[in-house]
Structure 1
Amino acid sequence: MTKNVCYLLQDLLLAGTNTTTHAIEWTMAEIINNPNVLEKLREEIGSVVGKARLIQETDLPNLPYLQAVVKEGLRMHTPAPILFRTFQEKCEIKGFHIPEKTTLILNSYAIMRDPNFWEDPEEFKPERFQEEETREEVLKYLPFSSGRRGCPGTSLAYVSVENAIGVMVQCFDWKIKGDKVDISEAPGSVTLTMAYPLKCTPVPRTQIPLRL
């Protein structure tokens, strides 16, 4: 294996770990700030998983609200808000002539908060992802880009984040200082990060065993 390939695999591993961590942090902050979402999540997990064991990967397909919560977290706080593409050939788009080798910079953060595409885009509303989506609607949701150049780790990312969020919601109550988590964004970073790290105290829920 060449050094270049090794470096590429290392970059992919670090990028996936970093963005997954931020996605979990942002989503948990929104869940804490929206107690109704927390309770609805617990009701769904309780009805599917019960109280005798922890949530597992095989449970995830049967937890549509958990999936919707994670998608909404990624919509509002996509870890990679800027996407880059290069035109391999010249083309024309709506009267604009694009030379080959032109670099396209796509602001997916703005697209996923655009009021022309999303109702109440600044509100955390997981229910929007429980409605059927058309192909056109899918193209406004771009946390992992889209098409053949989309992120190859999309499925793994969903499983990792959904499982982590599910366990944290199932097993713990979350105590914070004040009424709300500050979800201000840190400036000057390619990866979307919180201006102030999420500080909260997990309190185990005694009825849930902390083991598989």
Structure 2
Amino acid sequence: MHVIIDVHSLPGGLNGLTIGEATGHWGWLFNETAWGHSMEVVDEVLEFIRGSSSPRSFTLEPMNEPADRNGDDDLGMAVFGTPEALSEDAASYVLGFCFKLPDYWTGGFSRGDNVVFDMHNYYFGGRETSSENLPEFIRSDAQNKSGDGTFPVFVGEWSIQAAHNNSFALRERNLKVGLEAWEEYTQGSCYWTAKFEGKGTIDGEGRQRDYWSFERFIEEGFFSEID
């Protein structure tokens, strides 16, 4: 098993959203106090990794989805760099997804850096997706958002909820299309999420939980052919 330790949010707010701390919170960026607290968290995670019996089994992702409210200059501080301790202890470092494609970051690192780029791919907003046409969007993202091969790319979040006409009957097909696409074009993926019971309304059949919970897909027998 490989374990990704995702700090996810940081003090002050990364993107003005609830997932970044709270709606309207941008206080992490250019805040030395918040930066200091953040590095304390990173140090604690590194100490845990170093003290484990298998440091190669871990990857650290120190933040999730920082947004460049004031332009790209914000993102300069939104990157911790590549802490030497990570490479020394054989744990890789994930550059948290920040609404930029892998190619945006490639020039900022040397080829030998122990870095993985994280991509998040969602389909419930911003594009005219449906359960019927979802495979074409998934395959397009896999082909066009996976970098130039200089660094590995991992799809750290994705789900099969579409913007329109969500269909129970097409869930298994779309899930397997995604798993196969990310496996072919990237270093794999992590579904969002393992267990989800949200009852939010969606367009089409069911609720959010019917499209966001991998546990539910297992219970539905989508992988019954696997021993």
TM-score bracket for the superposition, by shorter chain length: under 0.3
Q: Structure 1 length as normaliser, TM-score? A: 0.21
Q: Higher helix fraction: Structure 1 or Structure 2?
A: 1
Higher RCO (CA < 8 A, seq sep 6+): 1
TM-score by length of 2: 0.20
